[in-house]
Chains A and B, each alone.
Chain A
Amino acid sequence: MTPASPLRAPVVQVLSQRVVDRYAELSGDFNPIHVDAAYAARTPFGRTVAHGPLVLQAFFEALLTWLNADVLPPGVRVQGVFRNPTMADATVSCHLLGIEVENEVATLRAECRTGDTVAVSVTASVPVPPGSPARAALLAT
């Protein structure tokens, strides 16, 4: 197993209500918990909640930043476990917690947080064949 490089700076993004509304249009998921402030105010959340996959979308951008890549190559696997809801207008910061490279696959552990609250824990497996830019980016010091 190759020792991990120093971990990367967090990638910070804002999931504004405008972004949540746009994601509802893109995905067809108009559940009022995401887009109807009056409805959401009557729920235990008290306000609109971002779509879970939108939080994962924040992670994708972080992953691409850490890989210094524009696209994820075939063979990538991503598993996200949603720990807490992410309210609309939240600032989400994605933190890279660990990198392990074994043979030609890198396994990254990450969390996307709102403040100190973990929104989603993510494990991603990325093919990193020798000589690939992704491998170089992950192992760069």
Chain B
Amino acid sequence: MRLAKVAFEELREGARYGPFRYLVTREQSDNLRGPVGATRPGDSAPPGVYPMLFLRGFADALGGIPPGGLLAREELEIEAVLPAEAEVLVEVWIGEKFVKRGRPRAVFEFAVTVPGDKRRAATGRMVIVWAPVEEQDPA
């Protein structure tokens, strides 16, 4: 079981991680195609592959979503359709870090490219929000 060990205070705006190399398998694509929980064969990677890759990148960059953080927003831009099985590179960086209405927030950016031809397949971002500072457990 992996949990991020990096606290909000330790995140550095502009910090970059990766690129991490992953093989999207046909099994993963089939698991993420069709109704949730179903397995449906197909030749192209379904859109759900990208958030999965973002989380994988997150895990390899920071050990996962930092402690106490909640996913508040997720965005995805698809730039190319990948085959059901594909090797990809995922880069992760911290786009912004700020406090809004007393709540720490960080914007994590992701880029998925195809190695070799450097073709961009998708970009995305996840906004993580923490509890208001005064409610956080000092431990």
- A residues within 8 Å of B by Cβ? 13-16, 18-19, 22-23, 26-32, 35-36, 51-54, 56-58, 60-61, 63-64, 70-82, 85, 92
Contacts and interface: CB of A to CB of B under 8 A. Distances in A.
B55 A74 contact: no
A51 B55 contact: yes
Contacts of B52: 23, 26-27, 53
Contact of A57 (B36, B58, B60, B75): B36
Contacts of B65: 29, 31
Contacts, number: 116
Nearest to B37: A19
A26 B35 contact: no
Interface of B: 1-3, 28, 31-32, 34-37, 42, 44, 46-48, 51-52, 54-56, 58-60, 64-65, 70-81
Contacts of A36: 1
A98 B7 CA distance: 39
A32 B31 CA distance: 22
Given A27-B55, A29-B65, A61 B35 contact: yes
B78 A60 contact: no
Given A29-B64, A70-B44, A71-B46, A58 B36 contact: yes
